[in-house]
Each structure stands twice: as structure tokens, then as C-alpha cells.
Amino acid sequence: MKIEFNPDGSMKLPENLAKKKEDEDRVFQDEPSVRIIRNQISTVTPLTCELVIQASDKLDDFEKIESVFREATGRFRHMADLSIRKIGDREYTVKIISGMYRCSWCENFRRFIEREMKVKVINWGSCFDYSSSRKY
């Protein structure tokens, strides 16, 4: 695959990824949806990840995300320190510190939001970008 650059020096997204991003942006504008952005905060012990959860303007009951989070912490195995914080009208962050099953918890949480809130979930970032906490 040939790498191309924009005039400002940034890398151009491959055509298929650019189209996918446009489609996801359209869904986020036009439908009740939730965007979940996974950020890896720490790559050393304790591993720390953050999920930024954003609501589209078409979603009416976004405050329900806190109760969905509380239910997911008890329902899915994680062995992590989990917390949620509201950072805006339509945005929350979930902090995940360590935990053997944190990546599977993230995936279960995403599916649970989709099912419980009956919304389209758009994922940016992946729990498959996992970094090991083992020291070498």
C-alpha cells in the first residue's frame, strides 16, 4: 500500500477508511447513536484506558448511560477499577485501571449500550490495541 500525504504533511487516510469515517459521521449526525473512543492512557503497570462516550444530538435519554454503566460493572467480569465521570452535556468518560478482563469488559459494555439503549454504537479505537503489563 502506497502512503500518500496531505499538503500539510499529515498522512492521507486510505479511501476505504475515509469513506468509513464519513459514513460514521453521517450516522452520528442523523441517527440516535453513541460514539465510543478508546484512549490508552498508560502502557505500564497499572494499565489505564479511557473510554470517551459521546451522544449524538438525536439521542434523547443519554443520562441513562450511568445506570447502564453501573449494571455492566456488576454483570461482566473485569477485575478492574472502573469509574465514570460526566464531562459535558453529551459526554462521559469511563476510566479502566488494570484488570485481567478489562478488554472483554469493554467489548461487552459496548454491546450492552447498543442493546439497552437501542442505539447505533460507533467504535473508534479498539481493545485489540492491547498492551501487555508484563515487564521484560
Question: What is the domain-level CATH number for residue 80?
Answer: 3.30.1370
Give CA–CA dist 105/127, Å, rounded: 9
DSSP-assigned letter for residue 72 = H
Domain count of the chain?
1
pTM: 0.78
- Domain region containing 92: 38-124
Residue 24 in domain: no
Predicted confidence (pLDDT) at residue 21 exceeds the cutoff of 90: no
| Cβ–Cβ < 8 Å for 12, 6 | yes
Give CA–CA dist 130/38, Å, rounded: 11
pLDDT tens digit string along 35-87? 999 988 887 788 888 999 999 999 988 889 999 999 998 888 888 899 999 99
Residue 90 in domain: yes
